[in-house]
C-alpha cells in the first residue's frame, strides 16, 4: 500500500482528509499560505482540486500567496451552536477574496463583530481553532505590518 492508497486524515472533515489537500495543511503548520496554480491558464485555485476548475487541466502546482485579501461577505455567529466554540461567541465567519483571486471561507479574528465590513482589507494570520489540532489560516484587519 502506498500513501496514495489512503486518506490523509487529521481531524476536520471535507478538505482536510484528502491527499490533494495534504500540502496545504503541512504549509499551514509552517504558517505559510499556499494555493494551487494552474500551469495552463495561470489561475490560482482554492480549495485544493485535482483539476483546474477554469480549464480542466491537471497541471496544478502549489504556490505561496501574499495572504492579503478583502472581505467579500461575512456573518457573525452569536449563538453557541457547538461546545468547542462556546468561548469564541460571538465569532465572525467571512468569505475573503485573496489578492490572487480565490475566495476563501475563513474566520475573521482580532476584529470586533461590529467593526467587520464588506470591502475591509485583511491579512492572513495562523492560529488554533476550537476542538481541532493544528494551525489554521484565519484573517484579521490589515495592519500594514510585515511579520
The terminus-to-terminus CA distance of the chain in angstroms comes to 41
Q: Per-residue pLDDT averaged across 5-16, rounded?
A: 42
Output helix, strand, coil percentages for the chain, rounded to the nearest 5. Answer: 20, 35, 50
Find the radius of gyration of the CA atoms of the chain.
16
Distance CA 70, CA 77 (A): 20
**What is the predicted pLDDT for the residue at 145?**
66
* Angle, CA of 98, 29 and 109, to the nearest 5°: 50
Taken as a whole, the chain contains a residue count of: 147
Transcribe 118-136 into DSSP letters.
TT-EEEEEEE--TT--S-E
Lowest mean pLDDT among 12-26, 50-64, 120-134: 12-26
Structural domains in the chain?
Answer: 3-64 (no CATH), 68-141 (2.40.50)
Question: How high is the pLDDT of residue 62?
Answer: 96
20-39 average pLDDT score: 91
C-alpha cell at 82: 457547538
Q: What is the pLDDT, as a whole number, of residue 84?
A: 78
User: Which has more confidence, 98 or 50?
Assistant: 98
Band (pLDDT 50/70/90 cuts) for residue 4 is: very low
Strands 60-64 and 34-38: antiparallel
pLDDT score at 65: 97
Express each pLDDT in 52-106 by its tens digit.
999 999 999 999 999 999 999 999 999 987 787 788 889 999 999 999 999 999 9
pLDDT at 57: 96
Amino acid at each position: 500500500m502506498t500513501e496514495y492508497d489512503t486518506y490523509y486524515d487529521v481531524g476536520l472533515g471535507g478538505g482536510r482528509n484528502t491527499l490533494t489537500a495534504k500540502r496545504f495543511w503541512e504549509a499551514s503548520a509552517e504558517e505559510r499560505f499556499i494555493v494551487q496554480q494552474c500551469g495552463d491558464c495561470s489561475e490560482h485555485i482554492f480549495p485544493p482540486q485535482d483539476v483546474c476548475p477554469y480549464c480542466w487541466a491537471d497541471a496544478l502546482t502549489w504556490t505561496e500567496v501574499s495572504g492579503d485579501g478583502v472581505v467579500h461577505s461575512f456573518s457573525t455567529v452569536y449563538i453557541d451552536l457547538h461546545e468547542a466554540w462556546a468561548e469564541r461567541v460571538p465569532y465572525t465567519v467571512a468569505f475573503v477574496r485573496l489578492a490572487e483571486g480565490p475566495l476563501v471561507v475563513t474566520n475573521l479574528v482580532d476584529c470586533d463583530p461590529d467593526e467587520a465590513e464588506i470591502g475591509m482589507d485583511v491579512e492572513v494570520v495562523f492560529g488554533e481553532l476550537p476542538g481541532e489540532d493544528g494551525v489554521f489560516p484565519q484573517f484579521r484587519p490589515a495592519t500594514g505590518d510585515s511579520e
